[in-house]
Amino acid sequence: TTDSYQTGLTNQVRGILDETPAWDLHTHLYPPTFGTPLSGTGQSAADANGLMLWGIDELLTYHYLVAEVFRVVPSRVLPYADFWQMSKREQADHIWQHLFLERSPISEACRGVLTTLQRLGLDPADKDLDGYRKWFAQQEPDDHIDRVMQAAGVCRITMTNDVFDDNERQRWLADPTVGGDSRFAPVLRFDALLCDWPAAARQLADWGYRTSETPSPDCIAEVQRFLREWIDRTGAIYCAVSLPPTFRFEGPEDTQLSSVIFREAVLPTLAERNLAMALMIGVVRGVNPRLSIAGDGVEKADVSSICRLCTDFPQNRFMVTLLSRENQHEFTVAARKFDNLMPFGCWWFLNNPSLIEEMTRMRMELLGTSFAPQHSDARVLEQIVYKWAHSREIIAKVLADKYAEVSRAGWPISDEVIRRDAKLLLHDNFQEFIAGR
């Protein structure tokens, strides 16, 4: 029957997607060389400001869950400042108590913790936070990364290396080999250059570049020097910025500072180095600053600015993801117009099953297999396990529906065909795009 044919097909596609290694093209994860606040059993000592976040306390204090716990225990009851003063462990206890024990953990971020525990071989039904803590404390960070990548079906993790983050910057300056772990690919991130040029200009001047608030030709040359030095130091595989919904690019005459820096300093340098530029647009930072990193929001971005960039810079390649659901159709149509535009992932507030399904279906219908459906955006290592498990399930469902449709039209689908498509979606489309092939 058609029904059992469909179920068989979905299982077949799911099986193949599960076996196909994914290149996680955007995360906030780091190898142990960047330090880790939780040392495990290992040789490496704990480093309170270390950037490699992992373990149950980090999973529970993910900023998605911080936002959710304030809905349940409002700041009228537990003031923001009191929450931020608690230790990581106390914050984790608080979140576990209120979001997991006293309510059902059905939000995507809560469910993610359960899937992660389960796939790492722990039993969520134990509800034993100290037991989980013990298990994590027994892991050696370096080996643990291999195990987690294996459980997630991820073969490479892409970092976000923010040159304006002092903690991270110092680590690159102190140790040129800090980024040498081949499981992790570096990405140079520089939001401040485009989001707040005056501040960036002062910062660069502090670091010894001859920059000024009005971007003269000399100043532009210095920004290019800065970018080249950091591209070389990090070995970045692409460069990235996140931008507010108000971001506009209006062509060669546009005098906005962000446009001038973008047009004259950033894009020519990236073209020279054959590097793609990732734009993540639509975040309103600090809608509720008292929630800190959990307090960012979303608004609609301007798709015509993206079209303008793709038109004006045929020598550059743009990977783009937009945070607002309302932008997705217009943006997917834009991707049909420009071969130097690669839509990627379902970003942040869109990384929920219903929206992933809607977006993936629409992208497949408009773009076939020529896009990069997901990235994890993980901030805590083990999150890649749930983010990829949940996404693979949805991608399999949508792909199986599409295969059923073409096979009804007489087009044969085989394991080999499914394997080829899975590899494109989870790995090769991104790899080839950043390579410029």
Distance in angstroms (rounded) separating the CA atoms of residues 375 and 154: 10
- The entry of Zn ion, ligand REL, none that residue 72 binds, CB within 5 to 8 Å by partner kind: none
Q: Return all residues near 397 (Cβ < 8 A) that are at least 6 apart.
A: 10, 357
Could you give the 3-state DSSP secondary structure of residue 310? helix
- Residue 61 backbone phi and psi in degrees, to 5: -100, 15
Q: Are strands 283-284 and 276-281 parallel, antiparallel or unpaired?
A: unpaired
Minimum Å gap between C-beta 63 and ligand REL is 6
Tell me how far the alpha carbon of residue 326 is from its chain's centroid: 20
Distance in angstroms (rounded) separating the CA atoms of residues 323 and 342: 15
Among 57, 181, 222, 377, binds ligand REL (CB under 6 A): 377
Please work out the total of residues on this chain that contact ligand REL, with binding judged by CB under 6 A. 7
Structure tokens that stand for 240 in this block: 């990235």
Distance in angstroms (rounded) separating the CA atoms of residues 85 and 372: 40
Q: Are strands 238-243 and 154-158 parallel, antiparallel or unpaired?
A: unpaired
Structure tokens that stand for 7 in this block: 């179920």
Among 108, 191, 377, 421, binds Zn ion (CB under 5 A): 377
Per-residue x/- track, 118-157, ligand REL (CB under 6 A):
----------------------------------------
Minimum Å gap between C-beta 423 and Zn ion is 24
What are the counts of helices (DSSP H) followed by strands (DSSP E) for the chain? 20, 11
Interaction between residue 379 and ligand REL (CB under 6 A): yes
Q: 6 and 400 in contact (C-beta within 8 Å)?
A: yes
Please work out the total of residues on this chain that contact Zn ion, with binding judged by CB under 5 A. 1
The residue among 355, 335, 358, 337 whose CA lies nearest residue 347 is 355
Among 293, 315, 339, 435, binds ligand REL (CB under 6 A): 293
Minimum Å gap between C-beta 160 and Zn ion is 6
Minimum Å gap between C-beta 411 and Zn ion is 37
Interaction between residue 242 and ligand REL (CB under 6 A): yes
Taking the least distance from each CB to ligand REL, the nearer of 317 and 379 is 379
How wide is the angle at C-alpha 325 spanned by C-alphas 185 and 277, nearest 5°? Answer: 30
- The entry of Zn ion, ligand REL, none that residue 358 binds, CB within 5 to 8 Å by partner kind: none
Per-residue x/- track, 325-354, ligand REL (CB under 6 A):
-----------------------x------
Minimum Å gap between C-beta 241 and ligand REL is 9
Q: State which of positions 163-192 bind ligand REL (CB under 6 A).
A: none
Specify the stretch interacting with Zn ion by CB under 5 A; choose among 127-135, 297-305, 309-317, 374-382. Answer: 374-382
Minimum Å gap between C-beta 291 and ligand REL is 11
Termini Cα distance of the chain? 43
Per CB under 5 A, residues contacting Zn ion are 377
Which parts of this chain interact with ligand REL (CB under 6 A)? 160, 242, 280, 293, 348, 377, 379
